[in-house]
Structure 1
Amino acid sequence: MEVRGQNPPGPPKKYQATAAKTQPFGAAAFKSSNKTTLRWLGMGGFFINSRGTNLMIDPVLEGFDMPLLISYPIQSKEVPHLAAVLLTHADNDHYSVPTTAGLAPVTKVFHSTVYVDSLLQNRRLPAEGHDIGDTFSVGRVQVRLTPADHAYQNAYPGMSKRRFKNEDACGFLLSTPDGTVWAPGDSRLLAEHLSMPAPDAILFDFSDSEWHFTLAGAVKIANAYPNTPLLLNHWGSVDAPDFAPFNADPAVLAKLVVNPGRIKVLAPGEAYVLKRVKR
């Protein structure tokens, strides 16, 4: 959710957890290998190289309309090639028009929900839209859309002329040769989020906002998969100390979850090698 001015009044927040210094990466990160490597792009975005299949989830690499606390680990013009870009929903900190335009020349296909696909098609980008539960392949990676509840626009009269549906947003469950990765996207907590086969990594939307998991919901999801590494995102990137969606603090989460050592507080661009969780 990216709606300013909806937080209850109160004293201004003086402290904001901030990500570590960006670790830039370049073309070498896109080469084939014998492993699956994940890199946080800042914001809610990730780059995944699964044995040479390169894809990005919700990349924002240029043109964001709010001040940032981080620098981008790579710019759109530096990306050599992508098999796909996956977009969870239409908010501009996930579906970036400048970034998708910049990546279009080197991206084979954009995948998202049916609604976001319509936005991409209107811009004449190569895109495919899917329903929740649909599956598709990106090279050796199998992808399934998982449910989300992020239709916050309907709660604010006048925000949009369109009535949004829950299926306009999604998450993605990726099955790679080296394990499964779940990117739940932005969502309120759903029962389905607590009953999935345990993934080998969660790209963990960490945001104490009513239209995200909230801190309590984040703890529930984390403890539902007590051995799964949590790669935190949606925090430490945007300079907006009065705006809850961007202001979660990893130190708080670490005090509340089972096995806190599995929380991965990556710097933007830092490499994380996927490994199967022992079950």
Structure 2
Amino acid sequence: MSITFSKTGQAMPEKTVKLDTSAFDTISGTEVYWLGNSSLLINSRGTIILIDPILDSFDMPLLIDMPIASRDIPRVDALLISHIDNDHLAFDTLENIKGQTKSFHAPAYVADVMKEKGFVTQEHAVGEVFEVNGIKIKPTPTKHNWQSEKEKYNFREWKEEEYVGYWIETLDGTIWLPSDSRLLPEHLEMDNPDLIFFDFSDNEWHIGYDNALLEAKTYPKADLVCIHWGSIDAFDWAVFNGNPDKLREDVVNPERVHDLAVGGKLRLTKK
């Protein structure tokens, strides 16, 4: 996909691909969709997994159109939340798909907040494997408790275990979402994933660009689906200003970099 640019110079995807309900049909393999910023959809042989969906009432201006209205989502087998930040957890969206969602999953604290809002949520710790229709899912460690450095948020202790990534094993291959995180030693010691939802944000509480290249080099065959870029209208926030074309210039095996359109999909293949 070719990159376009906003008036203030932010790299952004081309026109949004609108999703219809066929994206939720039973299929023969596994397909992943980027829904903008960090919102993700996985259809694995008809099992639908949503991760950090935000399709309504975003609290910052957007560069993109949404690929589907949350009320039009017909069904979800599991909805996973990685952490509490507003660009990953939106209760307007969750409320609109609550009736169509079979199960909600989140780390400590986030699960409690969701329960307080009326969502029956299963809490999972790092390393705890759970299954959804035979798909094995394991939360992975992160370090993203940036609130601990801000006086505004000192009303509680923000613990690392309240922020997670997800390791997802399907019949068609393994998907890894490291999520928002500084690079940890564990991130370079994983089994080889077939696909990484790849945050390459150059930010001190994210992986940082050079460390993103190191992570990609560690797993040289994994498809890299770019996330956390081209969606939020914030030219002066490095965390929203990744450029997949720049990534392709620097990464090992650049042909595996996928800068999907919002609503675009990629078929999962074993490497």
Q: TM-score range by the shorter chain?
A: over 0.9
1:252 and 2:246 correspond: yes
- Kindly tell me the number of residue pairs found equivalent between the two proteins: 265
TM-score of the two chains, using structure 1 as the length reference: 0.93
- Structure 2: how far apart are the matches of 1:146 and 1:49? 21
Distance 2:158 2:102 in 1: 28
Say which SS state the counterpart of residue 103 (structure 1) adopts: helix
- Aligned pair partner of 2:212 in 218, 241, 247: 218
- The one of 143, 147, 150 aligned to 1:153: 147
RMSD: 1.1
Superposition TM-score, scaled by structure 2 size: 0.96
Supply the AA of the counterpart residue of 1:116: V
What letter matches 1:229 in structure 2? D
Which of the numbers 165, 170, 177 marks the counterpart of 1:171? 165
Query: What's the secondary structure of 2:14's corresponding residue?
Result: coil
Which of the numbers 210, 221, 227 marks the counterpart of 2:221?
227
Write out aligned runs for 1:13-24 (5 A): 14-24=8-18
Given that 1:201 and 1:231 are in contact with CA atoms closer than 8 Å, whether structure 2 keeps it comes out as yes
Distance 1:266 1:207 in 2: 16
> Could you tell me whether the CA contact under 8 Å between 1:35 and 1:51 is conserved in 2?
yes
Provide the C-alpha distance between the structure 2 equivalents of 1:217 and 1:247, rounded to a whole number of angstroms.
Answer: 16
How far off its partner does 1:224 sit?
0.5
User: What residue is the counterpart of 1:27 in the other structure?
Assistant: 21
Secondary structure of the structure 2 residue equivalent to 1:117: helix
Aligned residue type for 1:39: Y
Distance 1:74 1:206 in 2: 25
1:274 to 259, 262, 268: 268
1:225-276 C-alpha deviation (Å, 9 max, x unpaired): 0111100000000001011111111122111111011000100111211000
Aligned ranges for residues 78-227 of structure 1 at < 5 Å? 78-227=72-221
Listed as ranges, the gaps of 5+ residues in structure 1 are 1-12
User: How far has the Cα of 1:159 moved from its partner?
Assistant: 2.7
Distance 2:198 2:56 in 1: 22
Contact 1:53 1:140 in 2 (8 A): no
CA distance in 2, matches of 1:30, 1:14: 36
**Structure 1 outlier segments of 4+, above 6 Å:** none
Cα distance between partner residues in 1 of 2:43 and 2:17: 16
Distance 2:143 2:123 in 1: 18
Q: Which amino acid aligns with 1:261?
A: E
Matching residue's letter, 2:165: G
CA distance in 2, matches of 1:184, 1:43: 14
Overall identity of the aligned pairs, in %: 42
Q: 1: CA distance between counterparts of 2:88 and 2:72?
A: 19
1:75-121 CA deviation, whole Å, 9 max, x = no partner? 11010000011111000111111111111111011111021100111
Distance, in Å, in 1 between the alignment partners of 2:45 and 2:12 is 31
Output the CA distance in 2 between the equivalents of 1:15 and 1:184: 27
Q: How far apart are residue 14 of structure 1 and its match? A: 3.8
